[in-house]
Amino acid sequence: MEILITGGARGIGRALVETGAAAGARVTATHRGPVPAELLPKARWLPAEMTDPASIAALAPAHPGPLDVLICNAGVLKDRGQRLDNGYPPALWAEMFAVNVTGVFLTIQALLPALRRARGAKIAILSSQMASDSRAPGGAYIYRASKAAVLNLGRNLAVDLKAEGISVGIYHPGWVQTDMGGPSAAIAPAEAAQGLMARIAALSPATTGCFECWDGTPHPF
């Protein structure tokens, strides 16, 4: 099985690379910074900057063969602690949407030919419970809005790609002990990655467009 994971050098992405490699998949992963030495043999590494359309477009010729699973994991949360009265500057909106939304769409667009060359290909988009209209405690406006946008993106892609046999799942990875989630988060990256891989394995045309938690619990929109 051929898997491509964006943002594979850190956090949940790193755990997904390790989980996929341990299961015997041929893993390709993107990175924008240094790749830890111990990760180098676990995947084929491609540089990709999610704010740079040309960098994303370069993924297509780098992956000319069939692609069974595309996991859009790369994302940023940079608006933690911003104040409503004088925070959330326009440049921060532009940067976070470029990574969390536009970068996801452009990655899928670039790799769609490879996905079409596979049989029953799957796209997994990592959103968040913070995208849900039913979970709105305030704050983190840019992150919430961007994750809601990518949830909507995934739902609509599921409709457009279903006739081609390509399934799309959108997932909340859990509150994970990463730089983003913090050390007091609920689950370890390996647990989140194992759950996400199980969700992706279960994804099918019958469930395309789903919004699920890492443990398989359906998440309210």
Catalytic positions? 143
Give the dihedral sign, CA 22/4/71/179: positive
For residues 31 and 35, give the distance between their C-alpha atoms in angstroms, rounded to a whole number.
7
User: Which residue, among 148, 159, 161, 147, has the nearest Cα to 109 in the 3D structure?
Assistant: 161
Task: Return the half-sphere exposure (C-beta side, CA atoms, 13 A cut-off) of residue 135.
Answer: 14
Instruction: Give yes or no for a contact between 86 and 167, defined as CB atoms under 8 angstroms apart.
Output: no
* 119 token code pair: 């049989």
Nearest-5° angle of CA 137, CA 197, CA 194?
80
For residues 131 and 91, give the distance between their C-alpha atoms in angstroms, rounded to a whole number.
21
Residue indicated by tokens 């993107």: 30
72 contact partners, CB below 8 Å, separation of at least 6 = 6, 104, 107, 108, 123, 124, 125, 126, 150
Nearest-5° angle of CA 152, CA 11, CA 21?
95
Three-class secondary structure of residue 123 per DSSP? strand
